[in-house]
Each structure stands twice: as C-alpha cells, then as structure tokens.
Amino acid sequence: MSKKVKFSLVFRDMWQSAGKYVPRVDQLVKVAPAIIKMGCFDRVETNGGGFEQVNLLYGENPNKAVRQWTKPFHEAGIQTHMLDRALNGIRMNPVPVDVRRMFYKVKKKQGTDIARTFCGLNDTRNIIPSIGYAHDGGMISQCCLCITFSPLHTIEYYTKLAFELIEAGADEICLKDMAGIARPVSLGEIVKNIKAKYPKITIQYHGHAGPGFSMATILEVCKAGCDYVDVGMEPLSWGTGHADILAVQPMLKDAGFDVPEINMDAYMEVRTMIQEMMDDFLGYYIPARNRQMNSLLIAPGLPGGMMGSLMTDLETNLESLNKWKEKNNQPKLSQDQLLVKLFDEVKYVWPMMGYPCLVTPFSQYVKNMALMNVIQMEKGKERWSLIADDIWNMLLGKAGKLPGPIAPELEAKAKEQGREFFTGNPQDQYPDELDTFRKEMQDNGWELGEDEEELFELAMHPQQYRAYKSGKAKADFEADLAKRKAEKCAGKGGITLPQTVTVDVNGEKYKVVIGENNGSAAPAQQAAAAPAAAGDTAGAKELTSPLEGKFYLVKSSGDTAVKVGDTVKKGQTVCYVEAMKTFNAIAAECDGTVVEICLTSGASVAEDDVLMKIK
C-alpha cells in the first residue's frame, strides 16, 4: 500500500508571508466554504502568531474572527491549527505563566485544535511547558524543530531535540523550515531518524519557497515518512510564501504517494476570492518582490514570514535614510543597494549574536540589528551603537539559551553598560499578571468576553488592545490605507499631494494629512494641541528619535512613565521608539529636568523628530 500524505493549507501564513495585513472576518467566512470544497485539505492553519495581532491593528476583534473562521472547518471535519511562540505566546515578547495557561484554553474553546509551538532558540525550557498547557486546554501539542543551516544546527542536533520533545509528551513534530534554506537530504535524514525510533509519531513539514529548495525538500521528507505537508495556493504561493498545492500534489502522486485530488473549480473560486481581497485593501501592503523567488536569501536565511513585512518596512527606512543623505549632500541609496547591504550585514552579525534560529522574534532581532548597523554606519557612526532592549534580552540569555556564544565585543559592551547575563529559566522573570489586567478591564467598564477571551486579548496584546478599544488603531489604519490609495492614484495622475482628508471612526473624526507627516492621524478637534504641558523650554536640549516608528513612554503596564518636571540623568531611559516589532530604548543625553514631552504615547515618529526637551 502506498504511503498516504495529507495537506494543510497555511492560510494564515500565506498572508503574513506576503505582506503586512490579513483578511477581515467577513472575507474569511466567505472563503472558508470554497476552501472546504477543494476537497484536498485535512488541516487549515487558521490563526496564531501575528495573525490575531494585526486584526487589532486595523480595529477588528480577533476573538470574534477566530470563532467564526474556525467554525466551518470544524463542521466539515477539517482540523485547525495555530502558531504559538512558546514563551512569547502569540506576541513578540515573553508572556507570564497565568496568561500562557489561559491562552490554550481560550483558543480551544474558540475552535483551534492544534497548537504548533516553536522557540527560535530551540530551548526546550520554553517549549515543554506549552505541551502541558496545550493538553490541559484540550489541544493537540505539535512541537517544532526550528530549522536553519549553520555549523551548530546538524542532523544530530535536530534528532536529539525531536527525541527530547517527544519524550516530554509532544503529540506531533513539525519541521519548521521557516526560511526554506534547509538542505533537502539533511531534512530527509532527520525525519528518517525520528520515524526509526518513534514510527507512530506524526510529522508535518512547513517550508517557504523563496530560496528554491522547497520542492526537493518536500519530496525528500515524504520519502522519509513525513505525514503532512504545508502548502499555499495562488495568488499567494511561491516567493516568500509556500509551494503551491497544484505543484506539490502531482509531484507526490507521480512518486507513488497516496494524495487527495483537487477540485479545480473550487481552487479557482478561492483564487478569485484571494485576488478580490488583495484588490480591496490587502494588496496595498504586499510588495511585488514578495511574489518572486530569491536565492539571495540562502545566505542570510531570513524567513519567509518576516520577508513579507520586511519589504514594506524597508520602504520607510530607505526614505528616512535618503532624507538624511540628501540633507548631508550624500548620494541616495536604491532599495536594491540597501537590501544587499542588509543581507551582507545579517550574514556578518548572525554568528556574533550566537546563531539564534532566524524565526520570530529572533529573526526580527537579528534583521533589525543588522539594519540599524547599516543605517548607523551609513551615517558615519559605529556598528552596535543602538541595540534595542529586546535584542539585549536575547543576547543576555533572558529569552533562553543561545545555540552559540556571543562575540567578545558584545560581551564587552554589555559589561560596559552594566548589563548582567542570565542563566536561569526564562519564565521565572515574568510573574503572573492576569489580576492586574482584570482590574484594568473592570476600571474601564470593559466586558471580559465569552470564556474571558477579551481579558486574554488585553493580557496578550496590551498596547494593541488599548488602541483597538480607543479607536486609535482603526484611525491609524484608515489613515495609512488612505495615504497608500492616494499615492497610487497620484502616480496615475489622479490627485495632487499633499491633501487633508477626514476619517470617521466610531463617530470621532480624525484629520489625516496625505503626502506629509507620513499620513499620521490625530483627532480633528485636537490636531493643534500639545501632547503634554510644557515648562520653560528656553535653552532646553532636544532629544530626537534615531529612527522611524511609534513613540511610547513605557513598554509595559508596570513601568513608571517619565513626566514633565521629572529630574533625569544622562544615559537614563526616558522613552521608547517601537520600530519593526522591537522597542528601542531612548536615553537622556544630559542630566536635567524634563520640560516638555512632545508626543502622545503611540504617536508615529519620523527620524530626527523631537521626542522631548530636557533642561
């Protein structure tokens, strides 16, 4: 009897690997019946990772989206799975134990069957607790081997890791080839080793198409005994996404595997709907290059899921850098030039940062560090001159044990700044917080939601949830979308920029300047108001932003914000700029008193914008 191979449609990752946003709930509910009708999927990836966070970013409730989205698949007997970042849950930074425990219970009740848990450091101290939490919540625990290619990440390394996870209770193993750079034969050997010792364990392969290895890898792992293969479909397959079901299915069928047939009428129906979603608004956040294969990615090993947003982020970084270059009479860089510099810098810094697997959040940390180095060095400054707090936490061992040692120069920099290395269990640093968030909801008169899912959402994504509840998230999204549409129209000779439009969010009007100020939104009646009362600013020193992003006075709810009138010391962290999913600590450049805070928390900032004044 021929070996049966089943398919999983990674609908969440298809979108996240292509661009910045994901479909609205009405679009998800509309496409689900057609996906079911295709008849070839035993599993669908419906949520998790950044998928739910971006719902909040454009003002949609992710809990309602997950419940409605998973329901039709359950009714059709198709399993649903979600991506889980272990210690980080479904966000970029560590999550307290009580929130982690709640996570699996809430998601199971919302309709998610399988928790696909991964840690970019492959630190089992972060992964193994999730096995128990998933089981307690009634979910299947699928644990990942985060695959990369380095002198440390060998066949023996991954085989040993798989055995440890299975012995700890994992129900399934996923080979998470997030950058698509795993060598096909080596992955086949890893699957063979696992199946030799644990023949009944279910193995699923997840790989990205970009560098060009994925089709060969799929064939090798299936020959070795893989049970499920993750696939994508047009118009979001290949490139930074995944191999298309239309190519994978006949390849495996020809090799003698028992694979399901595809209803092509339904395939075309789904394909059309995806294109309609892109035409509606999602396509404005999908750079054309993300549709292309790019073997340059083999060397830096950046993952497909991150490349989806990288090209969008790169646009604003390039624009900001070129403004500086123009101001300083230097030749501008093209996007290609910046991209090559970035890829080269990733190759350089990755070993120095201890070889973390390049997957969320560590891929962002390595990429952001490389990009910051490139930008700083282009301005004549030193490499490593600005290291975000989240990156320091990884380097210091606070996120888990790095596969390799960090470079001596980074050790020296840590010592110089009085930073201490951590060797304990990462989870011990993050005490329970649910009671604090429960009180915040009660104080605000917010409903806890069905199965307390709204409480969970606030605890998992505090800043994004608050912005969602206030309407600011929707206003910012509508402003940015209006800007992108206007710029596209202007490129065709439709309108002249800049222009001001008004966006209505839940009855509150926001002024949006398109073509200036990066399309930021401010309440119409408050557009000219200062964010904070200022003292005597004569002779004060301006603290400016070193990069583009969002301004915050604190990065977590328990922190105390600096306020006007406070005395600060040179080198003291006084605020943060969140850029590319990491918080960059901004330090006072002199001793003095804060006499003005120039922005409200969550406001968009450009490089060199004044954040506060210190006298």
For domain 541-614, the CATH class is: mainly beta
| DSSP conformation letters of 101-131 | HHHHHHHHHHT--EEEE--TT--HHHHHHHH
Where is average pLDDT lowest: 37-46, 94-103, 342-351?
342-351
Helices (H), 353-407: 362-378, 389-395
Q: What percent of the chain has pLDDT over 90?
A: 60
pLDDT in tens, 434-448: 999 999 999 999 999
Q: Which helix (H) or strand (E) holds 97?
A: helix 97-110
Question: Does pLDDT of 457 surpass 80?
Answer: yes
Over residues 266-288, the pLDDT tens digits come to 999 999 999 999 999 999 988 87
Give the separation between CA 134 and CA 562, rounded to whole angstroms: 40
How far apart CA 338 and CA 576 sit, in angstroms, is 25
Query: Which pLDDT band, with edges at 50, 70 and 90, does 17 fall under?
Result: confident
Q: Is 14 helix (H, G, I), strand (E, B) or coil?
A: helix
CB < 8 Å & 24+ apart, contacts of 566-570: 566/593, 566/594, 567/591, 567/592, 567/593, 568/592, 568/593, 568/594, 568/614
| DSSP, residue by residue, 271-297 | HHHHHHHHHHTGGGG--GGGGS--GGG
pLDDT at 511 over 60: no
Q: Is the pLDDT of residue 509 over 90?
A: no
pLDDT value, residue 569: 92
Q: How far is CA 46 from CA 95, 360, 519, in A?
A: 22, 18, 31
Task: Give me the pLDDT at residue 305, please.
Answer: 58
Residue 395 has pLDDT above 70, yes or no: yes
Percent of the chain with pLDDT over 70: 89
pLDDT at 312: 63
Check pLDDT > 60 for residue 3.
yes
CA–chain centroid gap for 154, Å, is 26
Identify the pLDDT of residue 245: 98
How large is the C-alpha radius of gyration of the chain?
24
State the architecture of 6-291 in CATH terms: Alpha-Beta Barrel (3.20)
Q: How far is Cα 134 from Cα 110, in angstroms, rounded to an integer? A: 14
pLDDT for res 526: 37
Per residue in 152-162, pLDDT (tens digit) is 999 999 999 99
Using left for φ > 0, alpha for ψ between -120 and 50, and beta otherwise, residue 341 falls in alpha
CATH 3.20.20.70 residue ranges of the chain are 6-291
The mean predicted confidence, pLDDT, of the chain is 88
Residue 368 pLDDT class (50, 70, 90 cuts):
confident
Grade residue 304 by pLDDT with cuts at 50, 70 and 90. low
Residue 515 reports pLDDT greater than 60: no
The 10s digit of each residue's pLDDT in 169-180 is 999 999 999 989
Residue 499: pLDDT over 70: no
| Kind plus residue range of the DSSP H or E element containing 11 | helix 11-18
* pLDDT value of residue 503: 52
Average the pLDDT over 518-540 and give the result: 53
Quote the tokens at residue 165.
């996870």
Structure tokens at 602: 């969550």
Element (H, E) at 68: helix 62-75
Q: Which pLDDT band, with edges at 50, 70 and 90, does 320 fall under? A: confident
Q: Which of 483, 480, 432, 484 is nearest to 459 (CA)?
A: 432
In the numeric block, which tokens belong to residue 402? 């790095």
Looking at residue 152, its pLDDT comes to 94
Find the mean pLDDT for residues 136-150.
96
Residue 221 has pLDDT above 80, yes or no: yes
* CA–CA distance, 187 with 181 (Å, rounded to integer): 11
Specify the pTM.
0.82
Range among 43-57, 515-529, 551-565 rated most confident: 551-565
E strands, 362-520, in order: 499-505, 508-514
What is the number of alpha carbons within 13 Å of residue 1 lying toward its C-beta?
A: 3
The pLDDT of residue 335 is 83
Out of 494-498, 531-535, 559-563, 604-608, the most confident range is: 559-563
Query: How confident is residue 521, by pLDDT bands cut at 50, 70 and 90?
Result: very low
State the Cα angle at 302 between 299 and 303, rounded to 5°. Answer: 135
Beta carbons within 8 Å of 494's beta carbon, 6+ residues apart: none
Residue 495: pLDDT over 50: no
- CATH 2.40.50.100 residue ranges in the chain? 541-614
Least confident of 108-117, 252-261, 285-294: 285-294
Distant-in-sequence, close-in-space partners of 283: CB < 8 Å, separation ≥ 6? 19
Q: Which of 22-31, 133-142, 530-539 has the lowest mean pLDDT?
A: 530-539
